[in-house]
Amino acid sequence: MHMLKSNDLLTVGQVADRSGFATSALRYYERVGLITTTRSSGGQRRYERNVLRRLAFVRAARNVGLSLDEVARALSTLPKGRAPNRSDWTRLSRRWGAGSTSRSTP
């Protein structure tokens, strides 16, 4: 089994397998700016490994009821190309908790 190095790039299929998101969702999230990708010389998408943490962040945020617009706003507070770390999770989850009292649930 080949172990990926931290600087290895992942294909869309690898990211889908590891994140649990469909490839169509990954392409959509790229289009709306939630994640970024580079292209191979053949035009294929390649993702940095930190995209997996960003996708975990997206899933967690969606699980607590945030809209994709709210997720995008939260991710926009992070430096480009950096996945959320523990400090980010804590800071942003406090905001979510504060916002959840004003968010109605269906």
Q: How far is CA 2 from CA 8, 14, 48, 92, in A?
A: 11, 13, 17, 35
Place of tokens 């989850």: 93
Determine the average pLDDT of the residues in 68-91: 80
Q: Is the torsion defined by CA of 27, 10, 69, 66 positive or negative?
A: positive
pLDDT at 23 over 60: yes
Q: Which fold has domain 9-80?
A: Multidrug-efflux Transporter Regulator; Chain: A; Domain 2 (1.10.1660)
Confidence of residue 105 (pLDDT cuts 50, 70, 90): very low
Task: Give the Cα separation of 88 and 96 in Å (integer).
Answer: 12
Q: pLDDT tens, 25-59?
A: 999 999 998 998 998 888 899 999 889 988 998 99
| Amino acid symbol at 64 | V
pTM of the predicted protein model: 0.75
Question: What is the predicted pLDDT for the residue at 99?
Answer: 56
- Percent with pLDDT over 90 in the chain: 35
